[in-house]
Amino acid sequence: MDIQKIETFIQLAKYLNYSKAAEKAYTTQGNISKHILALEKELNVNLFNRSKRQVTLTEAGCQLLPYAQQIVQQAHLMQETAAQINQKHQHSLTIYTIPTLISYPGLEKIAAFRNLHPEVNLLLKETENAPLSSIDFFDENTLFFTRLFHLPESSYEYKTVDQDHFVAVLPADHPLAGEKELALECLEREAFLLLGKETGLLTPILQLCQQAGFTPKNNYGGSRIDLILNMIASGLGISLLMEKTIQEKLPDQVVYLPIVPTKLSHLCFVRKKGQHSAANELFWESII
Q: Are 237 and 132 in contact (CB under 8 A)?
A: no
Task: Tell me the whole-structure pTM to 2 decimals.
Answer: 0.69
Walk me through the domains of the chain, giving residue ranges and CATH numbers: 3-86 (1.10.10.10), 90-161+267-286 (3.40.190.10), 163-265 (3.40.190.10)
Instruction: State the Cα–Cα distance between residues 105 and 288, nearest whole angstrom.
Output: 11
Per the omega criterion (within 30 degrees of 0), is the bond before 261 cis? Answer: yes
Report, in angstroms and rounded to the nearest whole number, the Rg of the chain calculated over CA atoms: 33
Instruction: State the Cα–Cα distance between residues 66 and 172, nearest whole angstrom.
Output: 84
- 210-227, pLDDT tens digit by residue? 999 999 999 998 889 999
User: Of 279, 222, 288, 285, nearest to 95 (Cα)?
Assistant: 279
Secondary structure of 73-142 in HEC code, one letter for each residue:
HHHHHHHHHHHHHHHHHHCEEEEEECHHHHHCCHHHHHHHHHHHCCCCEEEEEECCCCCHHHCCCCCCCE
Q: Which residues contact 163 (CB under 8 A, 6 or more apart)?
A: 264, 265, 266, 267
| Span between the terminal Cα atoms of the chain, in Å | 51
Instruction: State the Cα–Cα distance between residues 87 and 173, nearest whole angstrom.
Output: 60
Secondary structure of 178-231 in HEC code, one letter for each residue:
CCCCEEHHHHCCCEECCCCHHHCCHHHHHHHHHHCCCCCEECCCCCCHHHHHHH
Strand pairing category for 264-272 and 142-148 = antiparallel
Q: Are 207 and 149 in contact (CB under 8 A)?
A: no
Question: ∠ CA(245), CA(206), CA(183), 5° rounding?
Answer: 75
The pLDDT score that the predictor gives to residue 212 is: 95
Q: Are 82 and 91 in contact (CB under 8 A)?
A: no
Instruction: State the Cα–Cα distance between residues 223 and 156, nearest whole angstrom.
Output: 27
Q: Is the pLDDT of residue 89 over 70?
A: no
Q: Is the pLDDT of residue 153 over 90?
A: no
Average pLDDT of the chain is 91
Phi (first) and psi of residue 167, to 5 degrees = -130, 160
The pLDDT score that the predictor gives to residue 164 is: 97
Instruction: State the Cα–Cα distance between residues 143 and 283, nearest whole angstrom.
Output: 9
Q: Is the pLDDT of residue 47 over 60?
A: yes
Confidence of residue 87 (pLDDT cuts 50, 70, 90): low
Confidence of residue 84 (pLDDT cuts 50, 70, 90): low
Q: Is the pLDDT of residue 261 over 60?
A: yes
Confidence of residue 90 (pLDDT cuts 50, 70, 90): low
